[in-house]
Amino acid sequence: MTCRFRCGDACAHEVPNTSDNPYFGDILSGTFSRRGALRAGALGTLVATVGVTGAAVPAAADSGRGSSSGHGYRDGLGFTPVAPNSADALTVAAGYVSSVVVRWGDPVLPDAPTFDFDRQTAAAQAKQFGYNCDFVTFFPLGRDRGLLWVNHEYTDENLMFRGWTTGDTAPLEQIKIGLAAHGGSIVEVERVGHSGQWKLVTRGRRRYNRRITAQTRMAFSGPAAGSALLTTAADRRGTTVYGTLNNCAGGTTPWQTVLTGEENWNQYFVGGNGVPEAQKTYLTRYGISTTTAIPSGNRRFDRVEERFDLAKHPQEINRFGWIVEVDPFDPDSTPVKRTALGRFAHEAATTTLTRDGRVAVYMGDDGRFEYIYKFVSKDRYIPGFDRHNRDLLDEGTLYVATFTGDSPAAEIDGSGTLPKDGAFDGAGTWIPLVSGDKSFVPGMTAQEVLVYTRVAADKVGATKMDRPEDIERNPVNGAVYVALTNNTNRTAAQVDEVNPRTANRHGHILEIVERKNDAGATSFGWSLPLVCGDPADPSTYFGGYDKTKVSPISCPDNVTFDAQGNLWISTDGNALGKNDGLFAMPLAGSERGHVRQFLTVPFGAETCGPLITGDQLSVFVAVQHPGEITGATPDNPSSHWPDGGAAQPRPSVAVAWHKQGKKIGS
Ligand code: FEO
Ligand code: CA
Ligand code: CA
Ligand code: CA
């Protein structure tokens, strides 16, 4: 069930990346060896430099994602881990409590009707909190109020509607509810007392509250805006599009806007067999069938909006797959799809500043054997000059990553056994793809590179990764961390040092240290601080920490940091058979690799959007798709979270805090 609704059964289909570019990028000019330079001891030195001077590396620009700390690596973690379980509950570490902040169907706009599972309408849904909450970010409005932005990634129609079988026969109203349950929400929240608890503001004007859906009017900007590749019958200028789809992870900008990534948008279209021949290669590369009219399991949005039929509107699909920027402080603003950031299955878009003050955006393309990207703006960020800053993401250079290992290939045998030098590590290069109107890819125009970014990255020999999900920069040590969630398709012939396991079921964490710790660099060193799974499984690696003392962890999806620079990891699809959860792991010193589970989410759910507030008193998590298991229906639910009793499961954002007001993780 998970696969059908989430990604259109991607795993049951051929891997769309059939390029013959090497599993090891072999374009190495300008790389430097990371060997030895950034092992635990040296990393400590780096941290001291960054932590003490503060300005050595600009802090991650993600507001609300923890702030730069002068404390270096004192991890400050003291909680007792939660044991793996299959409970239909949100279970937090001893000493902590949790509450639900906002549920699917809760009012977002003040005039939203009360949620009624059996009498839901599209008009109500368009004013209520959407389905399957994913990325969460927080904008403080003073100490005790704030705005939450939340992505609504996708819908589980068979859990939302009784008797639902297929989009082919579903009542049109249900299809419209599906459209309205996608997108994002902005809601005002308030602190409860002086605690770390936050609740939805349910009175008054709530002037920032807003729903964005698969039908909200949006604009294109950047070098591909107005391109012939983005025009349709309804938009002959290629500048306006309706809606955003499958918004998975995201990021924030230093000028206080949201970036939200369109991920598995390919699954919403039909009619791929009816497009012009010349377009078929591109559709195939993005995982869309060109031989079937109606892919099985399709939601059939085309039954209410013809634009979702590629046979009639072949280019509508080119208008999805972008990073969308939303201003949460202006509910009348038009969201903008930023074409300079490329088009793929966008997972995250984390901003940070380069040493010379430009904006870098790290992005993953979440598919088996897909790539890691970085955008660097042409101009500098100027604090306070937002009229200037708001155009920064329209002009710059888009890069894709190649990785090489520093150990002999024969020592990477697919078993997860560390090579003789004791680390999966090496160097890498950011290969430029396009900069403004200039393409660096032979045979492709700049606009083609931006619209068909995967094809461009194939041509330059980017390194095929094990599903790059969230990417975030650590505000303390300046390194960049990537969740590589899993890739069971990787064969023995395809392993390399950065994706070292065959049939990688549990995923791993990649640490990237940019040259001179500068996000604007074009080369970097890398290592794997965590190779996930059951610690008793010899293919796992927990940063060298004693594996008898760590929590099992599987399928890392989203990452964030606390003020001490500890890595927090949420999981999706725990292949160890227990519920997903949120984990903390120190990155330096003797505690490096000491993974501890902080919470578990209810049965059938994944854990998304972890966010530790700047004051370190609260951690928000999105509990996505509770009860989503094969065979579950509204008449036979497998979860009743969060309302309990006989209630239907409702995807919800929750918050956890310490009973005595201690910092998260203490
Ligand atoms: Fe929507 Fe890649 O998780
Ligand atoms: Ca090595
Ligand atoms: Ca994700
Ligand atoms: Ca996920």
Which class for 41: exposed (0-12), middle (13-18), buried (19 or more C-beta within 10 A)?
A: exposed
Q: Is 106 in the pocket of ligand 1 (CB under 6 A)?
A: no
Residue nearest ligand 1's atom 1 by CA? 248
Alpha carbon distances (Å) from 530 to 160, 267, 468, 541: 37, 32, 15, 5
Ligand nearest to the CA of 609: 3
Q: What is the pLDDT of residue 12?
A: 81
What does pTM read for this prediction?
0.92
**Could you tell me if residue 300 is left (phi over 0), alpha (psi between -120 and 50 degrees) or otherwise beta?**
left
Residue 72 and residue 61: Cα distance in Å, rounded? 19
The alpha carbon torsion through 122, 126, 130, 131 (nearest 10 deg) reads: 20
**Centroid of ligand 1 to alpha carbon of 366 (angstroms):** 6
Please give the structure tokens belonging to residue 299. 């939601």
**Centroid of ligand 1 to alpha carbon of 378 (angstroms):** 29
**CA angle (464 as vertex; 461, 466 as ends), nearest 5:** 170
Q: Is 606 in the pocket of ligand 1 (CB under 6 A)?
A: no
Q: Is 628 in the pocket of ligand 1 (CB under 6 A)?
A: no
Q: What is the pLDDT of residue 73?
A: 58
The helix/strand/coil state of 159 is helix
Identify the H or E element spanning 619.
Answer: strand 618-624
CB 610 within 8 A of CB 619: yes
Q: Is 470 in the pocket of ligand 1 (CB under 6 A)?
A: no
Ligand 1 atom having least distance to the Cα of 246: 1
Q: Is 622 in the pocket of ligand 1 (CB under 6 A)?
A: no
Q: What is the pLDDT of residue 74?
A: 76
Residue where the block lists tokens 């392993």: 495
In sequence order, what E strands does 411-522 have? Answer: 425-435, 438-439, 465-466, 468-473, 480-484, 508-514
Question: C-alpha 231: how far from its chain's center?
Answer: 28
**Centroid of ligand 2 to alpha carbon of 76 (angstroms):** 30
Q: What is the pLDDT of residue 2?
A: 66
Walking along the chain (666 residues) 10 residues at a time, the average pLDDT comes out as 80 85 39 29 31 30 35 78 98 98 98 98 98 98 96 98 97 98 98 98 96 98 98 98 98 98 98 97 97 95 98 98 98 98 97 98 98 98 96 98 98 98 98 98 98 98 98 97 98 98 98 98 98 98 98 98 97 97 96 98 97 97 97 97 98 98 97
**Centroid of ligand 4 to alpha carbon of 446 (angstroms):** 31
The helix/strand/coil state of 557 is strand
Report the Cα–Cα distance between both ends of the chain, in Å, rounded.
37
DSSP state of 417: P
Q: What is the pLDDT of residue 310?
A: 98
What is the phi/psi pair of residue 286, to 5°?
-100, 20
CB neighbour list of residue 466: distance below 8 Å, 6 or more residues apart? 368, 484, 485, 486, 487, 490, 499, 504, 507, 508
The closest of 555, 567, 612 to 592, measured between CA atoms, is 567
Ligand 1 atom having least distance to the Cα of 248: 1
Residue nearest ligand 1's atom 3 by CA? 248
Number of C-alpha atoms within 13 angstroms, CB side, residue 67?
10
Ligand nearest to the CA of 624: 4
Q: Is 347 in the pocket of ligand 1 (CB under 6 A)?
A: yes
Sign of CA dihedral 437, 440, 443, 447: negative
Q: What is the pLDDT of residue 23?
A: 53
Ligand 1 atom having least distance to the Cα of 467: 2
**Centroid of ligand 1 to alpha carbon of 624 (angstroms):** 11
Q: What is the pLDDT of residue 40?
A: 30
